[in-house]
């Protein structure tokens, strides 16, 4: 059975042109004029783009005494409904747990996925077992390792652990990821705020000023540079962190920054809402910021100093959020966004003229696939690439509402926002999962995507590292020591 997407404009990260796209056996078989197939999808008036890739999700993750509410079933349904055809989730060993053991848990959960997926592996503690198992993880096609510089007493790693792990990731040809917030300072500020009677969700924002993020981002960049590893900074929310990344890139360091759609479009005023539930539902780390920080993030996407837009989808129900009533440090951290990332970014990015359609494709898909070592199988409209495609109708509109979302939670942080630009069709390896705007996906269709280590950036860094490696100075004519 073949499918042809007919009459649309193919939009990739670097090119827009009129063409039909033929799909056979889950892959793109031909791109050209007048193609025919068994099934025809009408793309007139639409753009045919690589499906979105969300490089940052937490599905059914054990965290802060509970589990995030969306699992690989509801989470990947939400992804497809919004034009995202692949998610990269975080396998998260609890401190002391082996990496392979954690991976087995994530392998079990992900069997329900409706779209393809991959994993990052978190390094939450350091020891010989972690060092050894990292090789086996890379052999499984997991080439990115995440480090938390926050969540003191739980997931946080210290600088010695960070340096050791970064060096190992560099040697294995992988990418180091960081959640960059100074966890020691956050813990101090949180304790002080609570002691002063600041117990509500607004105190969460006060406990994590932009400086904690800027400091940790700078530190991670310097540690990564010393370790010789490429660095990817997740959920960049502010100018302080963006400035560090911008400067590092201008210096030639291999650093990428990932803002979230939430930080681009929602601001800190959410935490001052008189309704406790409204504010708590938006508690995440880092917190939402003011307009100056938002402008910085948009500028970063426009200028290329920030590379990727993600969601950090980590959804908790209102009931789960309420475990933090009376103590903001117990509100589970995280917000949803998987279904809304693409329409929100199109509406606030492309429709406003901040981003071109090609830049939209780059930051929602192609850049991610390249950084994570799966291009052009993913993130491309090329013959031979997986047919993970979105047929995007730039004129279609809706109002975002929890009542009609795929996510399992009872609210949506973008509730009431009108978006223009929605998927007409979404294909996951050729299977039509959104048909004329209606979700028709299959549980278990999603497959694990193994990724390649030692990409071009790693090879360039290794060549440089080898050139500047410490070497003993060969000296002649020096008397032997002690003589």
The smaller minimum CB distance to Zn ion, of residues 61 and 369, is found at 61
Q: What strands, in cross-sheet order, belong to the sheet with 438-439?
A: 16-18, 9-11, 47-50, 389-399, 418-428, 431-435, 438-439
CB neighbours of residue 234 within 10 Å:
24
CB neighbours of residue 9 within 10 Å:
17
Contact of residue 218 among ligand URP, Zn ion, none (CB under 5-8 Å per partner type): none
Q: Is 207 in the site for ligand URP (CB under 6 A)?
A: no
Contact of residue 334 among Zn ion, ligand URP, none (CB under 5-8 Å per partner type): ligand URP
Of these, 103, 203, 314, 391, which contacts ligand URP (CB under 6 A)?
314
Please state the φ and ψ torsions of residue 418, each to the nearest 5 degrees: -85, 125
Contact of residue 445 among ligand URP, Zn ion, none (CB under 5-8 Å per partner type): Zn ion
Q: Look at strands 66-67 and 9-11 and give their pairing.
A: unpaired
- Contacts with Zn ion by CB under 5 A lie at 179, 312, 431, 445
Q: Is 177 in the site for ligand URP (CB under 6 A)?
A: no
Residue 365: strand, helix, or coil? helix
The smaller minimum CB distance to Zn ion, of residues 286 and 373, is found at 286
C-beta of 205: minimal distance to ligand URP in Å? 12
The smaller minimum CB distance to ligand URP, of residues 285 and 367, is found at 285
What does R_g of the chain's alpha carbons equal in angstroms? 23
Which of the 8 DSSP states describes residue 324?
G
Instruction: Report the distance separating Cα 113 and Cα 80, nearest Å.
Output: 11
The smaller minimum CB distance to ligand URP, of residues 331 and 389, is found at 331
- Cβ contact 352:301 at 8 Å: no
Contact of residue 333 among ligand URP, Zn ion, none (CB under 5-8 Å per partner type): ligand URP
Q: Is 89 in the site for ligand URP (CB under 6 A)?
A: no
The smaller minimum CB distance to Zn ion, of residues 120 and 254, is found at 120
The smaller minimum CB distance to ligand URP, of residues 167 and 282, is found at 282
Contact of residue 431 among Zn ion, ligand URP, none (CB under 5-8 Å per partner type): Zn ion
C-beta of 103: minimal distance to ligand URP in Å? 18
Q: Residues with Cβ < 8 Å from 190, sequence gap 6 or more?
A: 203, 207, 328, 329
Q: Residues with Cβ < 8 Å from 252, sequence gap 6 or more?
A: none
- Cβ contact 359:300 at 8 Å: no
Instruction: Report the distance separating Cα 197 and Cα 388, nearest Å.
Output: 51
Of these, 112, 179, 321, 429, which contacts ligand URP (CB under 6 A)?
179
- Cα within 13 Å of Cα(157), Cβ side: 29
C-beta of 258: minimal distance to Zn ion in Å? 10
- Cβ contact 6:35 at 8 Å: yes
Interactions with ligand URP, residue window 43-62 (CB under 6 A) = 58
Contact of residue 363 among Zn ion, ligand URP, none (CB under 5-8 Å per partner type): none
Instruction: Report the distance separating Cα 332 and Cα 342, nearest Å.
Output: 25
C-beta of 461: minimal distance to ligand URP in Å? 26
Interactions with ligand URP, residue window 327-386 (CB under 6 A) = 333-334
Q: How far is CA 277 from CA 16, 127, 349, 429, in A?
A: 44, 41, 29, 39
Of these, 207, 218, 285, 365, which contacts ligand URP (CB under 6 A)?
285
Contact of residue 284 among ligand URP, Zn ion, none (CB under 5-8 Å per partner type): ligand URP
The smaller minimum CB distance to Zn ion, of residues 280 and 419, is found at 280
Strands (E), 163-271: 175-179, 231-233, 255-257
Q: Is 312 in the site for ligand URP (CB under 6 A)?
A: yes
Contact of residue 202 among ligand URP, Zn ion, none (CB under 5-8 Å per partner type): none
Q: Is 259 in the site for ligand URP (CB under 6 A)?
A: no
Contact of residue 451 among ligand URP, Zn ion, none (CB under 5-8 Å per partner type): none
The smaller minimum CB distance to ligand URP, of residues 285 and 417, is found at 285
Instruction: Report the distance separating Cα 190 and Cα 260, nearest Å.
Output: 24
The smaller minimum CB distance to ligand URP, of residues 62 and 444, is found at 62
Least Cα distance to 359 among 10, 13, 48, 82 occurs for 13
Instruction: Report the distance separating Cα 356 and Cα 361, nearest Å.
Output: 9
Which residues form the interface with ligand URP (CB under 6 A)? 58, 179, 284-285, 312, 314, 333-334
């Amino acid at each position: 059975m073949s499918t042809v997407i007919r009459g649309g404009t193919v939009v990739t990260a670097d090119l827009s042109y009129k063409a039909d796209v033929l799909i056979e056996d889950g892959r793109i078989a031909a791109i050209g004029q007048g193609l025919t197939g068994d099934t025809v999808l009408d793309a007139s008036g639409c753009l045919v783009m690589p499906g979105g890739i969300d490089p940052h999700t937490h599905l059914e993750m054990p965290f802060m005494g509970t589990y995030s509410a969306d699992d690989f079933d509801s989470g990947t349904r939400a992804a497809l409904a919004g034009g995202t055809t692949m998610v990269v989730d975080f396998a998260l060993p609890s401190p002391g747990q082996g990496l392979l053991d954690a991976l087995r848990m994530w392998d079990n959960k992900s069997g329900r996925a409706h779209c393809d997926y991959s994993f990052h592996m978190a390094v939450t503690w350091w020891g010989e077992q972690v060092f050894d198992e990292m090789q086996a993880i890379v052999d499984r096609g997991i080439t990115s390792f995440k480090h938390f510089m926050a969540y003191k007493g739980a997931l946080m790693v210290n600088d010695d652990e960070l340096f050791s792990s970064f060096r190992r990731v560099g040697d294995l040809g992988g990418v180091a990821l960081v959640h960059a917030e100074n966890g020691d300072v956050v813990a101090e500020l949180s304790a002080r705020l609570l002691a002063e009677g600041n117990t509500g969700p607004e105190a969460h924002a006060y406990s994590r000023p932009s400086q904690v993020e800027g400091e940790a981002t700078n530190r991670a960049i310097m540690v990564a540079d010393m370790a010789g590893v490429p660095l990817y900074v997740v959920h960049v929310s502010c100018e302080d962190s963006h400035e560090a990344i911008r400067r590092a890139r201008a210096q030639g360091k291999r650093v990428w920054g990932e803002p979230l759609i939430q930080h681009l479009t929602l601001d800190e005023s959410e935490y001052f809402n008189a309704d406790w539930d409204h504010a708590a539902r938006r508690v995440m780390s880092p917190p939402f910021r003011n307009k100056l920080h938002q402008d910085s993030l948009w500028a970063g996407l426009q200028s290329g100093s920030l590379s990727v837009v993600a969601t950090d989808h980590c959804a908790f129900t209102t009931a789960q959020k309420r475990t933090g009533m009376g103590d903001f440090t117990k509100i589970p951290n995280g917000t949803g966004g998987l279904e809304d990332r693409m329409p929100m970014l199109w509406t606030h990015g492309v429709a406003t003229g901040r981003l071109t359609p090609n830049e939209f494709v780059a930051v929602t898909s192609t850049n991610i696939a390249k950084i994570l070592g799966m291009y052009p199988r993913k993130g491309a409209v090329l013959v031979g690439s997986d047919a993970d495609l979105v047929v995007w109708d730039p004129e279609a509109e809706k109002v975002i509402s929890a009542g009609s979302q795929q996510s399992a939670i009872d609210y949506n942080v973008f509730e009431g926002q009108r978006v223009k630009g929605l998927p007409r069709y979404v294909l996951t390896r050729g299977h039509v999962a959104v048909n004329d705007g209606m979700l028709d996906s299959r549980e278990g269709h999603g497959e694990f995507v193994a990724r390649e280590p030692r990409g071009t950036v790693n090879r360039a860094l290794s060549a440089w590292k080898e050139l500047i490696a410490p070497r003993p100075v060969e000296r002649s004519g020096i008397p032997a020591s002690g003589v």
